[in-house]
Amino acid sequence: MALQDYRNDMQRCSRCSLCKWPPLAQIKSWRFSNVCPSMVWGNFHAYSAGGKLIAALSLLDGRIEYTDKFLEIVYQCQMGGACDVSCKVTRDLEPLEVMLELRARCVEDGQLLPAHMVMIESLRSDDNPLGKPKAERGKWAEDLDVKDITTEKADVLYFAGCRYSFDQDLWGIARGAVTLLKKAGVDVGISGKEEACCGGRAYEIGYRGELTKYAEHNIETWNAAGVRTVVTSCSDCYGTFKYHYPKVGKTMNFEVLHITEYLDRLIKEGKLKPTRKVPMQVTYHDPCHLGRLSEAYIPWEGVEKKVLGQIVIQDPPKEFRRGTNGIYEPPREVLKSIPGLELVEMERIKEYAWCCGAGGGVKEAYPDFALWTAKERIEEAEATGAEALVTACPWCERNFRDALEQDGEKMKLYDVVELLLEAL
């Protein structure tokens, strides 16, 4: 669909501002009652999802032209989708889709942010948006005794993703994940330096062609490799595989799992037995792309019809993704299986979790905003009394790390994998 195909949605926005808050029943305090980082940071209504729907309509109707401020409104947003969840509690609109279309339209019209251009150039030259040389991609797995699926067959492909591949501080988590899989007897392999970006971030910042390219390449490669399962520790990649990959129309002959899903399964099957005590009170941050944005793509093509006067229905009927079927329980189950570990929840969780701040190209284009967003989340974690914040995504991990370091905060930070390793 194109931006103009969403014109009815733009006109049907009622400017109710529900996109700024969690689903209202889930608000538990004044302090943690926002759900849209862009709005809290930017304040003008334009920064909300509803505001962006209006901006899109204004653009389509020729009321406005591209300006720097317009681009800021479009791009100063992590595309975390909390707005979409809140809107869809009562409405059948697609705010996040409109925002994605808006970015694609900006790129189509040559309205490019320099920080994003850098990411795309890097993608095109080295198959990653981080400006790192492709040759170094496999370094994270050096001396890790694991199959290389470019030369050997394996049942399961562990997909590291760009962040894990090139962010040395985080290598331990990726290595840990592979170690756990092997411990559980999984026939796992990796692509090493042959691995390429999932393409998800590029899609998010409006470069759809890149996503298509990587999706097609990856699906073909993995089909050809005969892997039955693709598992990743990166939530961004996971969400991309589940939501965007099916759009390119290639059959995926493999199951896609996030590492927390897989570990949960393995624990329940008795193949991993956490027995060592890890006495700690922790709180868990739901990554956007593992949570609300990971719901599988539901293909729909059809038309709008009116019945009973003015009721708008979709023909054929359309099922809306409302964010409630994300991967929420598996990470929690894994944590709960760790003896001595106590999980306390933050106020904004699951489909209405506050974003870590990294996504949507914000970490690159608006680093202060990204860090501020993370600090908000850290404060929320601290308010639970927990000593550690746990997550399941390297982008969340990186952004929280940077924020904690900047403020010299004492809160500990873990990935689910790290805690499980300690328990074995």
Question: Which residues of the shown chain bind other proteins in the complex (CB under 8 A)?
Answer: 7-8, 10-18, 21, 23-30, 33, 43-46, 50-51, 54-55, 57-58, 63-65, 67, 69-70, 73, 85, 88-92, 306-314, 317-320, 322, 324, 351
270 or 309, CB closer to other proteins?
A: 309
Residue 73 CB, shortest distance to other proteins, in Å, is 6
Of 135 and 308, nearer to other proteins (C-beta) is 308
Instruction: Select 14 or 406, whichever has its Cβ closest to other proteins.
Output: 14
- And the tokens for 396? 């969340």
The answer to whether the Cα torsion of 344, 237, 211, 292 is positive or negative is negative
Tokens, residue 115? 């920080």
Q: Which of 261, 243, 265, 260 is nearest to 252 (CA)?
A: 243
Residue nearer to other proteins on the CB measure, 11 or 406: 11
Nearer to other proteins, 39 or 278 (CB): 39
Spatial separation of the C-alpha atoms in residues 361 and 200, rounded to whole Å: 11
* Residue 293 contacts residue 287 (beta carbons within 8 Å): no
238 HSE (CA, 13 A, CB side): 27
Provide, rounded to whole angstroms, the least separation between the CB of residue 115 and other proteins.
Answer: 20
* Token pair belonging to 165: 């591949």
**Cα–Cα distance, 293 to 96 (Å, whole number):** 10
Query: Which CB atom, from 33 or from 337, has the smaller least distance to other proteins?
Result: 33
Least spacing, CB of residue 339 vs other proteins, in Å: 28
Q: How far is the CB of 334 from other proteins (least distance, A)?
A: 21
Is the distance from CB of 226 to CB of 147 less than 8 angstroms? no
Q: How far is the CB of 36 from other proteins (least distance, A)?
A: 12
Q: CB-based burial of residue 74 (10 Å sphere; 0-12 exposed, 13-18 middle, 19+ buried)?
A: buried
Q: Are 378 and 402 in contact (CB under 8 A)?
A: no
- Residue 9 backbone dihedrals phi, psi, to 5 degrees: -60, -40
Please state the closest distance from residue 291 (CB atom) to other proteins, in A. Answer: 13
User: Considering the complex, what minimum distance in angstroms separates the CB of residue 81 from other proteins?
Assistant: 14
**What span, in angstroms and rounded, lies between the C-alpha atoms of 84 and 78?**
13
Comparison of 18 and 393: residue with beta carbon closer to other proteins: 18
Share of the chain residues as helix, strand and coil, in percent rounded to the nearest 5: 50, 10, 40
Q: How many CB atoms lie within 10 A of CB 98?
A: 25
Residue the block writes with tokens 């680093």? 367
Minimum Å gap between C-beta 39 and other proteins is: 8
Q: Are strands 147-148 and 229-232 parallel, antiparallel or unpaired?
A: unpaired
Specify the residue, 16 or 344, whose C-beta has the smaller distance to other proteins: 16
CB 227 within 8 A of CB 154: yes
Question: Among residues 64 and 117, whose Cβ is nearest to other proteins?
Answer: 64
Q: Smallest gap, in angstroms, from Cβ of residue 144 to other proteins?
A: 39
Closer to other proteins at the Cβ: 3 or 419?
3
- Least distance in Å: CB of 123 to other proteins? 29
C-alpha pair distances (Å), 408 with each of 144, 390, 400, 403: 33, 18, 12, 8
